[in-house]
């Protein structure tokens, strides 16, 4: 998929990808010549279609965790997996508010999300994971929607 | 094009901003990297449901283990997974940031199956997920009547992830128990060029023969090597006296073998799994593999 600025006859550059939280995703592209930017707004069906392919709009490389689709999309048992990475080494505590927020993440993928935040905290010497830490991790790691 | 003139995709020389093809290529490379340590990848398939593909797969896995081979079984029948039960493999599965460990079943056979992921008697259903992993609210979801649009790609991707992300390790054999039909076989052949071939399972009946023949034609058209036929439920083995009596009418195994010029590897009687004696002439099967 390429976006062409017709006036400048230039391919627009991918700038940003966003998940507004209404079942859709958005991506912005900018013309390197005239600086005009446009937004690609995908409807829920288009969003699901892209997700089902296991690829990412705006991402030129993928570093997906194992069984990413299985764990996120299959309605399965919560205890199907034991996250050995999450159970190894010192772990940060979770505040009540952070735990509550984590509980809203689907059970099948919750362990993976918890591990990501846990590693983020461990690498920075953070003792307690709070919603603020989660927000910072989300920004730093590009974890929209988690 | 109308009055506005602009270049087309191929006329614009820059890279695709999202690199979608590169992403798909990278995902496939993960499969091939994982399967690089698997000596033989064999599919077990049929054009018909209920012929006992999983029993044949489990039996073959056990016989290969008896020969001292290292064996893994991937249950690709997402909607009717039975391999884990047959081989007594249980979860939970250990996972880290790189891979998931398969379950270990009878005789040390490695197993991965959706049966290990689902609650008892729970059918396979899909959760709608936004990029990033959040579940959209009910009013933002695609109507369930339209979900069929995504089912095929998702199921193909489960197969891809099961091949790429499960720590199969160094295996002599990875057996893939496929669902009825040919869709997943084509996916498997596409994902894994190293596929050694497919073992086809049929019942003796003419109805089974017709369905299985279609699947075999489709497999051959996809360039998948037909290794041979196994006729399952070929008579009834009495558990008391051991003699085999008639069960179904027909001779589908022999007819298909002749029609497709492949060997009829085994005729397995109906009986309680696992069978006390090997109905698999494994030497013949092993000779068939490229």
Residue with tokens 């627009």: A12
Model's pTM, two decimal places? 0.78
Instruction: For residue B21, count other CB atoms closer than 10 A to its CB.
Output: 10
Peptide bond into B274 cis (omega under 30): yes
- Taking the C-alpha atoms of residue A67 and residue A44, their distance in angstroms, rounded to an integer, is 23
- For residue B237, give the H/E element and its range: strand B226-237
* Facing residue for B16 by CB, picked from A2, A69, A144: A2
Q: Which residues of B, range 63-102, sit inside 8 Å of A by Cβ? A: 91-100
How many Å apart are CA A99 and CA A108, to the nearest integer?
A: 16
* Sole residue written with tokens 């790609």: B153
Whether A69 sits inside 8 A of B158 (CB atoms) is: yes
Write out chain B residues lying below 8 Å of A106, CB-based.
127, 129, 133-135
Closest Cα in chain A, distance from residue B169 (Å): 15
Pairing state between β A37-42 and A25-30: antiparallel
| CA B93 to the chain's CA centroid | 20
Quote the minimal CA–CA distance from A96 to chain B in Å.
20
Q: Is A108 on the interface with B (CB under 8 A)?
A: yes
User: Chain A contacts of B137, Cβ < 8 Å?
Assistant: 22-23
For chain A, which domains are there?
1-58 (2.20.25), 64-146 (1.10.8.550)
pLDDT (0 to 100) of residue B45: 93
Structure confidence at residue B71 (pLDDT): 95
Which A positions 16-35 lie with beta carbon below 8 A of chain B? 17, 19, 21-25, 29
Model pLDDT, residue B279: 63
d(CA B44, nearest CA chain A) in Å: 23
Domain spans, chain B: 27-288
**Is B19 in the A-facing interface, judged by CB distances under 8 Å?**
yes
**A55 contacts on B by Cβ (under 8 Å):** 18, 20, 23-24, 27
Q: State the smallest CA–CA distance between residue B167 and chain A in angstroms.
A: 10
Summarised one tens digit per residue, pLDDT across range B102-120 is 999 999 999 999 999 988 8
- C-beta atoms of A48 and B9 within 8 A: no
Note whether B125 contacts A: Cβ–Cβ < 8 A: yes
The percentage of residues in chain A with a pLDDT greater than 70, rounded to a whole number, is 82
Q: Which of B6, B116, B150 sits opposite A49 (nearest CB)?
A: B150
d(CA B195, nearest CA chain A) in Å: 22
Residue B142 sits at the chain A interface (C-beta within 8 Å)? yes
* Chain A residues within an 8 Å CB radius of B8: none
Q: What is the three-class DSSP state of A94?
A: strand
Smallest CA–CA distance, residue A128 to chain B, in Å, is 22
Q: Does B1 touch chain A (CB under 8 A)?
A: no
B76 close to B178: Cβ distance less than 8 angstroms: yes
Please report, in tens digits, the pLDDT of each residue of chain B (290 residues total).
567 788 888 888 877 767 777 777 788 888 988 999 999 999 999 988 888 999 999 999 998 998 899 999 999 998 889 999 999 999 899 998 889 999 999 999 999 999 999 888 888 887 777 666 667 777 777 777 777 777 888 888 899 999 999 999 999 999 999 998 888 898 899 899 999 999 999 999 999 999 999 999 999 998 999 999 999 988 887 777 777 778 888 899 999 999 999 999 988 888 766 655 456 677 777 877 77
User: Mean pLDDT per segment of 10 residues, for chain A of length 146 residues?
Assistant: 90 84 85 93 83 71 77 83 71 82 68 77 85 86 61
Query: Given CB atoms, is A103 within the 8 Å cutoff of chain B?
Result: no
Identify the three-state secondary structure at position B198: strand
CATH number of the domain located at residue range(s) B27-288 in this protein: 3.40.50.300
**B130: chain A residues, CB-CB within 8 Å:** 19, 21, 23-25, 47, 51, 145
Task: In whole angstroms, give the CA distance from residue B142 to residue A130.
Answer: 33
Of A48, A75, A113, which is closest to B142 when you measure between CB atoms? Answer: A48
Q: In sequence order, what DSSP letters do the residues of B70-137 get, joined into one string? A: -EEEEE--SSS--HHHHTT---PEEE-SS-BPPEE-GGG-EEEEGGGTSPTTPPP-B----TTSPPPP
CA B2 vs CA A5, A6, A46, A112, B28: distances in Å: 16, 13, 26, 49, 39
- Find all residues with CB under 8 Å of A13, minimum gap 6, and list them: A29, A30, A31, A32, B17
């Amino acid at each position: 998929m390429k976006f062409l600025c017709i006036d400048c006859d230039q391919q627009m550059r991918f700038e940003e990808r966003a998940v507004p939280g209404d079942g859709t995703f958005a991506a912005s592209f900018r013309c390197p010549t005239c600086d005009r930017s446009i937004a690609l707004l995908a409807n829920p069906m288009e969003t699901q279609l892209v997700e089902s392919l296991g690829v990412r709009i705006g991402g030129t490389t993928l570093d997906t965790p194992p069984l990413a689709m299985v764990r996120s999309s299959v309605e399965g048992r919560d205890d199907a997996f034991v996250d050995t990475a999450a159970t190894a080494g010192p772990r940060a505590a979770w505040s009540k508010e952070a735990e509550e927020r984590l509980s809203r993440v689907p059970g099948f993928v919750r362990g993976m999300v918890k591990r990501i935040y846990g590693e983020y905290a461990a690498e920075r010497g953070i003792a307690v994971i709070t919603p603020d830490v989660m927000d910072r991790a989300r920004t730093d790691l590009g974890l929209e929607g988690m | 094009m109308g009055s506005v003139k602009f270049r087309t995709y191929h006329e614009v020389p820059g890279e695709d901003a999202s690199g979608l093809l590169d992403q798909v290529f990278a995902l496939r490379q993960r499969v091939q990297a994982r399967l690089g340590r698997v000596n033989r990848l064999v599919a077990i398939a049929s054009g018909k449901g209920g012929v006992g593909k999983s029993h044949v797969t489990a039996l073959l896995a056990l016989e290969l283990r008896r020969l001292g081979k290292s064996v893994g079984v991937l249950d690709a029948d997402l909607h009717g997974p039975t391999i884990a039960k047959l081989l007594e493999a249980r979860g939970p599965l250990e996972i880290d940031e790189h891979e998931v460990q398969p379950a270990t079943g009878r005789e040390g056979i490695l197993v991965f199956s959706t049966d290990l992921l689902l609650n008892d008697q729970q059918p396979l259903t899909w959760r709608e997920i936004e990029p990033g992993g959040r579940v959209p609210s009910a009013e933002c979801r695609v109507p369930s009547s339209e979900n069929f649009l995504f089912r095929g790609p998702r199921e193909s991707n489960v197969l891809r992830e099961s091949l790429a992300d499960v720590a199969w390790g160094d295996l002599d054999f990875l057996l893939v128990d496929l669902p009825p039909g040919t869709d997943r076989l084509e996916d498997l052949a596409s994902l894994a060029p190293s596929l050694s071939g497919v073992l086809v399972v049929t019942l003796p009946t003419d109805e089974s023969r017709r369905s299985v023949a279609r699947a075999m034609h489709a497999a051959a058209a996809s360039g998948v090597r037909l290794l041979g036929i196994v006729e399952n439920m070929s008579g009834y083995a009495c558990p008391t006296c051991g003699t085999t009596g008639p069960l179904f009418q027909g001779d589908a195994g022999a007819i298909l073998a002749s029609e497709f010029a492949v060997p009829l590897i085994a005729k397995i009687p109906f009986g309680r799994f696992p069978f006390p004696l090997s109905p698999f002439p494994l030497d013949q099967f092993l000779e068939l593999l490229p």
